[in-house]
Amino acid sequence: MKVFIAFDGFCESFDIPPGQTVKKVKLMLKDYFHIPLSDDKQERRFLELTYAGGVLRDEWVLTDAGITLCSTIKCIVKEEEKPALCVYNAVTKEKVPIMGDIHLLAETVSKFKSLLSLKCGFPVSVFCLRTLDGKEMYDCNTVSEYNLDVGGTVRLDVWDGWKELLGACVLGHRQNVQRYLSNWEPIFRFQLRVALYIAAHFGHLELAEWLQTKGVRADEEVGVHPYRDWCRDTDHLDVKKCAVHVAAEKGQLLLIRSFLARNILCLECQNALGQTPTKICIRNGQKDCLLYLIMKMWSVVSFPKVTLPMNIYVKVKQWLYTAQKRICKVKKWAPQFKTHVGDPVVVDGFTEPKMTSKDVPGFYRDKWRRVVQDSPANSSQAIANAVFKLGPVKKLSRLPSFKPIEGDPIKRRGQPATGSLDINDIVTNSWNPYIPLPPITNTSNNQPRNLGTPHAAVLLNSSLESFTKHSGRTPRENAVYFLSLASEFKEKPWLRQLDMARRLAKKSLYGL
């Protein structure tokens, strides 16, 4: 089969044998055009073949991709820089690439967590890093001490029972965030600060507004988990970051306007390095946010008998807020949520790990198992007391039961009406006149033999289960996958794309 290859302004004809894969064609083009390629640990230089607007994969056969006689294929040389490390996020189930050179491996884990926090949007106090063999990485050590090479992968784990909450925060679903909040007040307040931090990173205005109505301040540092409150002063520096700092880093203008409208102290809020939101906008090149902050800084505040510049007004508000907190602390008007005797404490390397990314059912299942094992002789009174400590259990709402309807208004086809009818019959018969369903089998379609035997369903189900087991996808997911691949060839008609998807799916079955 003769095809044309366009490369670097030239168009040459080649005779491609039938059944030739794209990978072998690339090797032939590399030798013909004398293209130097490389595939080292840091940089990669490779060939890429495109046809009809889509990229051809190495394992494909040219004819399966719809390439016919005298077709033109475009060949380009691409350079790709590999990430220094990849991080698997246990919450979003995605791989986050961290770009850099080999010198990144000589940095501390604390610095690496700061870079990762900017990527994924999670504060450093809600996650830890582990190698693929389960070894936890501590902030004081360097990345190279864990025998990680360039391009290696580490795992990001969060607090047990927090996966659903953090996933809802990433998507900005207020109802789900409210659903997965803790009942214990110290963790509840910490989760609200974490949710506002993530909302500021992703720009979820509705979620941020709701969290501020719950009493969360944008100029309040995110802090550490109550289990680690004892090491607040010696923990990571980024635990002192506030939601307004994150909004300034990401250029979330709407969030910054919302924060300043509710609390003007956000204008002079400083992080651990002494940087205000204005300085952070300058460092990150956020022009729109910087103009708004400067305009706000040089405005004035008018009262009936006096007018104050904004910087003076902010200093007065800071003084009043500090005095108010001190008075509340002395007179104990406001509760101080600090670590008390008997509260759980997490010490790195000594206590049982509590950052393993367990979901909510798994977290409470393990907690219940420990309660039963620790109770003396599994006495019912001890288990009841332990259940009381776990907190109230919400009852699941149940649908009301349906009563039989007297005098059936819907008559069955070919059957007389009876005095009562089951609800399933009502639902079934009500759809019959409107949406006639197709038959389950059709003798005209291409089906395997012996489908009329009693064991036909067993044969089909076993084949589908075997396909799912070996391919990792259900038949429907497999069809959707190849349709999405074929849709990348935008220059081909839709029916051609459909035919290409069918051929690729058929070829994948032969490879199992």
pLDDT tens readout for residues 181-203: 988 888 999 999 999 999 999 99
- What are the residues whose beta carbons fall under 8 Å from the beta carbon of 364, sequence distance 6 or more? 161, 390
Residue 68: the pLDDT is 80
| pLDDT tens per residue, range 489-510 | 877 788 888 888 888 888 777 6
The confidence band for 281, taking pLDDT boundaries of 50, 70 and 90, is very high
* Separation CA 486–CA 492 (nearest Å): 9
Residue 381: the pLDDT is 56
Strands 2-7 and 10-15, sheet pairing: antiparallel
Residue 52: the pLDDT is 83
Question: Averaged over 64-74, what is the pLDDT?
Answer: 82
Residue 492: the pLDDT is 79
Kindly report which listed range (267-281, 292-306, 467-481) carries the lowest average pLDDT score: 467-481
Residue 7: the pLDDT is 85
Q: Which amino acid is at 144?
A: S
Whether the pLDDT of residue 115 is over 70: the answer is: yes
- What are the residues whose beta carbons fall under 8 Å from the beta carbon of 369, sequence distance 6 or more? none
* Separation CA 472–CA 480 (nearest Å): 14
The confidence band for 394, taking pLDDT boundaries of 50, 70 and 90, is very low
Q: Is 49 helix (H, G, I), strand (E, B) or coil?
A: strand
* Separation CA 82–CA 416 (nearest Å): 73
Residue 408: the pLDDT is 44
Pair of tokens at residue 105? 């491996």
Q: Is the dihedral of CA 434, 435, 439, 445 positive or negative?
A: positive
Residue 245: the pLDDT is 94
Question: Averaged over 328-345, what is the pLDDT?
Answer: 66
CA distances from 59 to 35, 74, 511 (A): 21, 18, 11
Q: Which amino acid is at 384?
A: A
**Could you count the other beta carbons within 10 Å of the beta carbon of residue 276?**
19
Residue 162: the pLDDT is 92
The confidence band for 411, taking pLDDT boundaries of 50, 70 and 90, is very low
The full DSSP string for 425-479 is: HHHHHHHTTT-PPPPS--TTS---TTTTSTTHHHHHHHHHHHHHHHHSS-HHHHH
Looking at per-residue pLDDT, the higher value among 257 and 17 belongs to 257
Residues 13, 4 contacting (CB under 8 angstroms): yes
Whether the pLDDT of residue 373 is over 80: the answer is: no
* Separation CA 162–CA 179 (nearest Å): 12
Whether the pLDDT of residue 383 is over 90: the answer is: no
Q: Is the dihedral of CA 269, 272, 273, 279 positive or negative?
A: negative
Question: Averaged over 23-38, what is the pLDDT?
Answer: 84
Question: Averaged over 74-100, what is the pLDDT?
Answer: 85
* Nearest Cα residue to 29 out of 13, 18, 44, 52: 13
Residues 318, 268 contacting (CB under 8 angstroms): yes
Question: Averaged over 427-444, what is the pLDDT?
Answer: 46
| pLDDT tens per residue, range 226-277 | 888 877 777 888 999 999 999 999 999 999 999 999 999 999 899 988 899 9
Nearest-5° angle of CA 237, CA 238, CA 244?
Answer: 135
Pair of tokens at residue 7? 């490369």
Phi then psi dihedrals of residue 509, to 5 deg? -70, -35
